[in-house]
Amino acid sequence: MRGYVLSRYGKAMELREVPKPVAGPGEVLIRVHAAGLNTIDYRSRDGAMRMITRLDLPIVAGSELSGVAEAVGTGVTRVAVGDRVCTRVDKMKLGAFAEYATVDENLVARMPDRLDFAQAAGVPLAGLAALQALRDELAVKQGDRVFISGGAGGVGTFAIQLAKWMGAEVTTTASPRGEELVKSLGADRVIDYTKQKVADVPGGYDGVLDLVGGEDLAGNFGIVKRGATVVTLVGMPEPTTARKDLGAGRALTVLFWLISAKSRRQARRHGVRYRFLFMHASGTDLELLAKLVEDGLLKVVLDRTFEFDQIADAFAYLETGRAKGKVVVKVP
């Protein structure tokens, strides 16, 4: 089969002939129809994620996909041959940018009937990251005021809708290019980040989901209530990231404690909790997202789809940082 192989950090992924995988016990063999692109894919390619996920190179790259279950290994009960499925694959094993992939059945969900493969491939990573940040870290509830920086991108377009579904009032940042989109997804208030700094936004929020980092993250600490949480997907990982998200040992915990010192200090000064979430793959959470899509409560915003052999162009587009929603490649 053909797959995009990352053979060395800093080098482009190459389309190569690689062995077709075989479903082991508890695994599903998926004929891939589409794969979503994410910033983690090019950061991994560039070696920027080495501290968090040290991949066993060479590896078939790609973090999320949709397709049809072609075979199941022994003991599989959640998925049947012929099911249309989507998944955020294991972060160490990867393999979505290929014609076939094997995935642990516990990471897989049946894709919503109302979606085509390209749309379904855009759900897993961004959707799960948004859900887990809002539900597990911010514990968003009816009536909360939630601030989401970077609402127009892959994660933000899910986060706005999920926060609204949880009953929150949502403020988000976007440029004029993304304003109409974020409003259409339910944002109650839009801050034009090209004109106003986050630090100058009137405060009192019950929680912040930061998808931008840098100056925005620093500004976030001043706009939430004391005792509230700023969860970032972009800033510096901290000790809980190592322990809870990565199951790592003492060495990484200490390293993350050191590199997050500045953000934790800023948070402390405002009486706020700082948390860097590294999302986790979960078939159960993905089923919840699929149900919301099926019920018409969650839309998938696709910016552009590319052909499989145009993945370099797809990455060039994603890496501009201007995508509105998700970027996906179709696998022939």
Residue selected from 25, 227, 271, 321 as contacting ligand NAP according to rule CB under 6 A:
321
Give the residue with the Cβ less far from ligand NAP, 101 or 126: 126
Residue selected from 149, 260, 263, 266 as contacting ligand NAP according to rule CB under 6 A:
149
How would you write 170-206 as a 3-class SS string?
EEEEECHHHHHHHHHCCCCEEEECCCCCHHHCCCCEE
Q: How far apart are CB 157 and ligand NAP at their closest, in Å?
A: 8
Give the per-residue contact string, 13-52, with ligand NAP (x = CB under 6 A; - = no).
Answer: -------------------------xxx------------
Q: Record the tokens describing residue 132, joined without a space.
A: 């887990």
Give the per-residue contact string, 268-307, with ligand NAP (x = CB under 6 A; - = no).
Answer: ---------xxx----------------------------
152 makes contact with ligand NAP (CB under 6 A): yes
Do residues 3 and 32 lie in contact, with contact meaning Cβ atoms separated by under 8 Å?
Answer: no
DSSP state of 106: G
Stretch that binds ligand NAP, among 102-110, 168-176, 250-258, 306-314 (CB under 6 A): 168-176
Give the residue with the Cβ less far from ligand NAP, 145 or 275: 275
Q: How far apart are CB 25 and ligand NAP at their closest, in Å?
A: 28
Give the per-residue contact string, 107-146, with ligand NAP (x = CB under 6 A; - = no).
Answer: ------------------xx--x-----------------
Q: How far apart are CB 177 and ligand NAP at their closest, in Å?
A: 4
Answer whether the bond into residue 202 is a cis peptide, omega within 30°: no
**Within 10 A of 152 (CB to CB), how many other CB atoms are there?**
28
d(CA 209, CA 171): 10
Do residues 109 and 87 lie in contact, with contact meaning Cβ atoms separated by under 8 Å?
Answer: yes
171 makes contact with ligand NAP (CB under 6 A): no
248 makes contact with ligand NAP (CB under 6 A): no
154 makes contact with ligand NAP (CB under 6 A): yes
Name beta bridge partners: 97: none
Residue nearest to ligand NAP (CB): 153
Indicate the angle between helix axes 176-184 and 154-165, nearest 10 degrees: 30
The 10 Å CB-count burial string (b at 16+, else e) for 128-142 is: bbbbbbbbbbbebee
CA nearest neighbour of 112 among 272, 241, 255, 293:
293
184 makes contact with ligand NAP (CB under 6 A): no
d(CA 87, CA 71): 16
Give the residue with the Cβ less far from ligand NAP, 204 or 321: 321
Q: Which helix (H) or strand (E) holds 60?
A: strand 59-60
Contact residues: ligand NAP, CB under 6 A: 38-40, 125-126, 129, 149-150, 152-156, 173-175, 177-178, 193, 211-212, 233-234, 277-279, 318, 321-324
